Amino acid sequence: MAGPPPVFPVDRAPRDLWALPGTVMDRQEEMRRLQARFPSDFQGPNARYGAGRRCRGRANDVGAYTDAWSCTWHVAERGVVGEVKEPPLADWGGLASYRPPFELLDEADFSQVEASCAATDKFVRAGTETRPFERLQFLRGSEALFADLAYGTRQLRELLAMLHDFYCRELRLWAATAVDGVSFMDDWGTQTSLLIDPETWRALFKPLYREYCEILHAGGKYVFFHSDGHIEAIYPDLVEIGVDALNSQLFCMDIEKLGEEFRGKVTFWGEIDRQQLLPFGTPEQVREGVRRVRRALDRGQGGVIAECEWGIGVPYANVEAVFDEWEQPLT
């Protein structure tokens, strides 16, 4: 399967609610109420990755924890992911002995994936570890990584090749299952531009992403990709290599321009502004934000997923307004 999915008129946009860990942990009754009224059209498969042997501590609790890749995160607020403060490869001296956590894949249990897909009429989408740029930051530290990219160091290319091998193995596992789609991610944007020069991105990262899309398309899977920030410069590249559904911070960019250039070429996988509108706007302002997205990207023809991220402190009424407005006549 190659290229984006066809666009057909639909009765409504499919719903996809994301919630930060803190929202899931502390607002369960509100979560149940929203999901009862606006059930998601997506679900994950019944699968389990292997246990990371280097993991220490608890994610999303205040304090520090170490993930399966030996990256130590510090969390200042309960229910958020935190930041890596102790990258294991801050010194390149550790590269020769470093290995990815292949136990995550080698000891994974996918035995129930096919049955869980057959038991639902929802779109089954698998999430993955695949995030090469972000993992480089977690392993090296952001400042060191940007210097590596500027100088084009040999060690950076060795590490990136190591990560790419891991991610290709992971995506081949999913490509052989019955899931409908598979997602991967990297946060590439600032508020106004890419974090690196677009040509550097095209030289180093675009070939990796292309291979990920090829692996998944060969298995008949739709490719879902997420990136925060202003990524308008690489939208054409992501469409070209075969990303089927693209989640980006639309309100950092020119939404109307994106619609004119890419409507019908890719499925816009949300979103609604979670920096200003959702936390600080009124329900009516949120509704107008939804209408703006629909006018620019949807126009009643589909090709848009009604995705919304429910962050800590975001009023229930604003999230409810998002999904309700997606089902109203467009004016």
Which pLDDT score, from 0 to 100, does residue 197 have?
Answer: 95
Which pLDDT score, from 0 to 100, does residue 330 have?
Answer: 87
Model confidence over 168-185: pLDDT tens digits?
Answer: 999 999 999 999 999 999
Model confidence over 54-66: pLDDT tens digits?
Answer: 999 999 999 999 9
CA angle 42, 267, 321 (to 5 degrees): 60
Which pLDDT score, from 0 to 100, does residue 302 have?
Answer: 72
Which pLDDT score, from 0 to 100, does residue 299 have?
Answer: 75
Evaluate whether 92 touches 155 at the Cβ level (below 8 Å): yes
Q: Which residues contact 145 (CB under 8 A, 6 or more apart)?
A: 136, 137, 156
Distance CA 50, CA 295 (A): 44
On the question of pLDDT at 113 being above 70, the answer is yes
On the question of pLDDT at 3 being above 70, the answer is no
Which pLDDT score, from 0 to 100, does residue 8 have?
Answer: 57
Q: How confident is the model at residue 11 (pLDDT cuts 50, 70, 90)?
A: confident
On the question of pLDDT at 301 being above 90, the answer is no
Q: What is the mean pLDDT of residues 254-268?
A: 95
Distance CA 262, CA 265 (A): 5
201 by Cβ neighbours in 10 Å (0-12 / 13-18 / 19+) ranks as buried
Q: How confident is the model at residue 9 (pLDDT cuts 50, 70, 90)?
A: low
Q: Determine the topology of domain 15-53+110-325 in CATH.
A: TIM Barrel (3.20.20)
CA angle 151, 154, 159 (to 5 degrees): 110
Which pLDDT score, from 0 to 100, does residue 2 have?
Answer: 47
Q: What is the mean pLDDT of residues 250-260?
A: 96
Which pLDDT score, from 0 to 100, does residue 1 have?
Answer: 43
Model confidence over 95-105: pLDDT tens digits?
Answer: 999 999 999 99
